[in-house]
């Protein structure tokens, strides 16, 4: 129902392990956007950790069952500040999820609290189990579960 793919994520992770993070604290792509995804009844829940990101710096777009999450971690100190230690990565980063046809992408709900973006994606009605009644004579009437 939920397909995750990011062909360059493993390459980024490997290169950071081998070469180390280049210029920590500079305007670059943060190392990770950790995610959890699980089914809760009739919906899928996806949670992204986005610490230090303002709610207005998050964009959600969906096009043809591809959900894109973009976030920007901006510098917080003022212009006259002399930074002593800067290890928190800054910049724009994104993650894409390929959603299956069994999810109702028209009714996605999003909430952001305590640095966690939570998406709730309902299961489409067409994908839910249902009973189909078989017509025939009154005495031979049977129900089959689909």
Residue 66: CB atoms within 10 Å: 14
Residues 34-47 as b or e (16 or more Cβ within 10 Å = b): eeeeeeeeebbebe
pTM: 0.67
pLDDT of residue 126: 74
Specify if 82 maps to a domain: no
Position 9 confidence tier, pLDDT thresholds 50, 70, 90: low
Specify if 22 maps to a domain: no
User: For the chain, what is the domain count?
Assistant: 1
- Give the model confidence (pLDDT) of 42-100 as tens digits: 999 999 999 889 999 999 999 988 999 999 888 777 778 888 887 777 788 888 899 98
Contact 70, 62 (CB under 8 A): no
CATH code of the domain covering residue 109: 2.60.40.790
Specify if 83 maps to a domain: no
Q: 71: domain range?
A: 2-17+27-76+88-145
Specify if 98 maps to a domain: yes
Specify if 81 maps to a domain: no
Dihedral of CA 63/5/99/53: which sign?
negative
pLDDT of residue 55: 93
């Amino acid at each position: 129902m939920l397909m995750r793919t990011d062909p360059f994520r493993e390459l980024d992770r490997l290169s950071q392990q081998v070469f180390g993070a280049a210029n920590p604290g500079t305007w670059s792509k943060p190392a990770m956007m950790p995610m959890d995804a699980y089914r809760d009844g009739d919906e899928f829940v996806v949670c992204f950790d986005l610490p230090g990101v303002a709610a207005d710096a998050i964009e959600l777009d969906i096009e043809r069952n591809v959900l894109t999450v973009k976030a920007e971690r901006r510098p917080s100190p003022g212009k006259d500040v002399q930074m002593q230690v800067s290890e928190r990565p800054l910049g724009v980063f994104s993650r894409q999820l390929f959603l299956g046809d069994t999810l109702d992408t028209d009714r996605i709900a999003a909430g952001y609290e305590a640095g966690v973006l939570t998406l709730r994606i309902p299961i489409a009605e067409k994908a839910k189990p249902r009973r189909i009644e078989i017509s025939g004579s009154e005495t031979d009437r049977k129900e089959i579960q689909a």
